[in-house]
Amino acid sequence: MKTLPIFFIPLLFLFSCNKDDEVALNPFSEEINFDVSEWVLKGENITCVDFDSDGNAWVASGNNLIFYDGLNTQSYSAGTVIQDVSVAPDGKVWLGTKEKGLARFSKGEFTFYTSENAGLPRDYVNEVEVAPNGKVWFGSCAHNLGGLMCYDNGTFSLYTPENSMLNQHVVQNLKIDHDSRVYFVTLSTVGNAAVYSIDNQNKWKQLGGDASFYWISSLVVNSESEAFVVVDYSLSSYSGYENYLAFFDGKKWEKIEADFYFSILPRMSIDKRDYVWVYGYGSVEGDYPGYFVYDGQNWLRSAEGQIPEVFIKGVSVDHQNNIWFCSDEGIFILRQ
């Protein structure tokens, strides 16, 4: 595939924080660049990355939280494996950890919230996301244990199938939109995966009514608060079904046609143009793997060899719409 050129369009307008006053303008180029622009933190085993309001990167690598400003790095040890990172509007960094529960990093120090001092069901926190309104949402769960938790101004709340509309305890794929709505998937047993949203008035909804899926491996939400999921059948080699991308149109889930195979681990992301990025394989046997991008109408594909053959653990998008791929060999960036 021929590499597409990159064009830079200047930002002509400032955006208001008030949704009603937003200027309907996308300042980013429509062109897609699949060429690696740079590698950072080479040699580090990177789990995930998030960005503060100044554009600095906060990176999880094993036990270490790494601050990267584009030139320099500084590393802080959490004393436990960091599984997820989310930067709050006030600059505090929130972490999901493997053995020390929910962590907050501020002014060079870690504070840990655990089963002992904060009532978490377990000290394994797989995901954390901070909403624009400052609420911290995270999963503290296992099969038949715990569920979705929220930290709000010193108070912890736990939502389980026993006290909410959740159909399962395990919560994954947390996402939050610009209006502080929370989206997530419940997973525990095959055939019962469901997608939920919670608005900023704590009103709950299961997307698609009682719609459930075999399994869901990825969830993203675009700028219009519309959800996409990858429905995953890889847990069963006898289902006869193939993984696919589905879109929630506000009433029901619709399948988006694609002429390639979705990876077992799609590692899906959505950029600031609302383009959906997924990892997959061509439909011809023996075809090469790569990234496929859905622009709302068509799929575009990386050329053979453009995406490095490393294990990609997560994909994030910075404020300039550059795509950061976290891998076991550092981070490679595709500048858009």
CATH number, domain containing residue 173: 2.130.10.10
Kindly state whether residue 305 falls inside one of the protein's structural domains: no
Please give the pLDDT value at position 283. Answer: 81
Distance CA 172, CA 318 (A): 22
Q: What is the pLDDT of residues 184-193, one digit of tens each?
A: 999 999 999 9
Kindly state the tokens that stand for 167: 């159909």
Distance between CA atoms of 198 and 98, rounded to whole angstroms? 26
Please determine, for residue 149, whether its predicted confidence score (pLDDT) is greater than 90: yes
User: What pLDDT is attached to residue 237?
Assistant: 66
With respect to residue 25, please indicate whether it lies within any of the assigned structural domains: no
Name the CA radius of gyration of the chain, rounded.
Answer: 19
Structure tokens that stand for 100 in this block: 């020390």
Question: Rounded to 5 degrees, what are φ and ψ at 20?
Answer: -65, -20
**For a pLDDT cut of 70, what percent of the chain falls above it?**
91
Q: What is the mean pLDDT of the chain?
A: 91
Helix (H, G, I), strand (E, B) or coil at 228: strand
| pLDDT surpasses 60 at 10 | no
Least confident of 142-156, 273-287, 301-315: 273-287
Rounded distance between C-alpha atoms, residue 105 and residue 102, angstroms: 10
120 lies in a domain? yes
User: How many domains does one find in the chain?
Assistant: 1
Q: Which of 233, 226, 231 is nearest to 211 (CA)?
A: 231
The pair of three-digit structure tokens given for residue 291, joined into one six-digit string: 């990234």
* Interval 94-127: pLDDT, tens: 999 999 999 999 999 999 999 999 999 999 999 9
Please check whether residue 274 is in contact with residue 229, taking contact to mean a CB–CB distance below 8 angstroms: no
Residues 317 and 315: their CA atoms lie apart, in Å, by 7
20 lies in some domain:
no
Q: Which residue has the tokens 């002509």?
A: 12
> Has residue 285 got a pLDDT over 80?
no
What is the per-residue pLDDT across 185-228, written as a single tens digit (0 to 9) for each?
Answer: 999 999 999 999 999 999 999 999 999 999 999 999 999 999 99
For residue 169, count CB atoms less than 10 angstroms from its CB and return exposed for 0-12, middle for 13-18, buried for 19 or more.
Answer: buried
- Predicted local distance difference test score (pLDDT) of residue 267: 79
pLDDT grade for 176, boundaries at 50, 70 and 90: very high
Evaluate if residue 141 carries a pLDDT over 50. Answer: yes
93, part of any domain: yes
Say if 6 falls within a structural domain: no
More confident residue, 69 or 5: 69
The whole domain housing 250 covers 45-286
Contact 156, 162 (CB under 8 A): no
Which amino acid type is present at position 72?
Answer: N
| 29 part of a folded domain | no
pLDDT-derived band at 234, boundaries 50, 70, 90:
confident
Would residue 161 count as lying in a domain? yes
